[in-house]
Amino acid sequence: MEAPVELIVGLGNPGPNYQRTRHNAGADLVLELAKSLSVELKHESKFFGDTAKTIIANRTVRLLIPSTFMNLSGKSIGALAKFYQIAPENILIVHDELDLAPGTARFKKGGGHGGHNGLRDAIRCLGNSQLFARLRIGIGHPGQANQVADYVLKKASPSDQQLITNSIDDALRHLPTAVEGQWEKAMTALHSI
């Protein structure tokens, strides 16, 4: 049994301008998760984000969507993790992933930030720990590095958005297994879709 999940964070940018943009795929998943569990995320200024407490797989799990901008996500994650004494290895961060095609979602244990500014700040604010797990939601790549900034801040095409929504649904089905700390089982199930 590996580390169970005590905190699930969905990365994104705040405000209506960014809703349903590719960069907000992580926040979208946590919003869907909260909806499916009938819990309401409430703004907590001391955590710089919207948060809720729920039960998943018979475990108490906190949900968090930082209300900082993406590049400062760690400020929110660090504040909540410190307050509730949640270790990095018990945190799951859900984020958009350029290197995966729309329709693909993947669990990952640990690792670097891969150029993702939200993860970069999370690592910095968790005492440079990279031990947290990730749930990567594929958004595809625009093809050129210089197009990435614009690409992630735009809404996906309707067909791509449907694929992203499908991958979020797939990931949510296998999330309880990951929450229990059964990472290999969760990865095998999700990655074979």
For the chain, list the domains and their CATH numbers. Answer: 7-191 (3.40.50.1470)
**C-beta separation of 77 from 64 below 8 A:** yes
**C-beta separation of 123 from 164 below 8 A:** no
With a CB cutoff of 8 Å and minimum separation 6, the contacts of 111 are 130, 134
DSSP bridge pairs for 62: 7, 53
* Mean pLDDT value across residues 145-154: 93
Give the pLDDT score at 193. 75
Question: Which parts of 57-153 fold into alpha helices (H)?
Answer: 73-83, 117-125, 148-152
CA distances from 69 to 56, 121, 147, 174 (A): 27, 11, 20, 28
Residues 109-123 pLDDT 10s: 999 999 999 999 999
Residues 70-105 pLDDT 10s: 999 999 999 999 999 999 999 999 999 999 999 999
For residue 128, report the phi and psi dihedrals to the nearest 5 degrees: 60, 25
Please report which confidence band the pLDDT of residue 1 belongs to, taking 50, 70 and 90 as the band edges: low
pLDDT more than 70, % of the chain: 99
> Which positions are annotated as active-site residues?
23
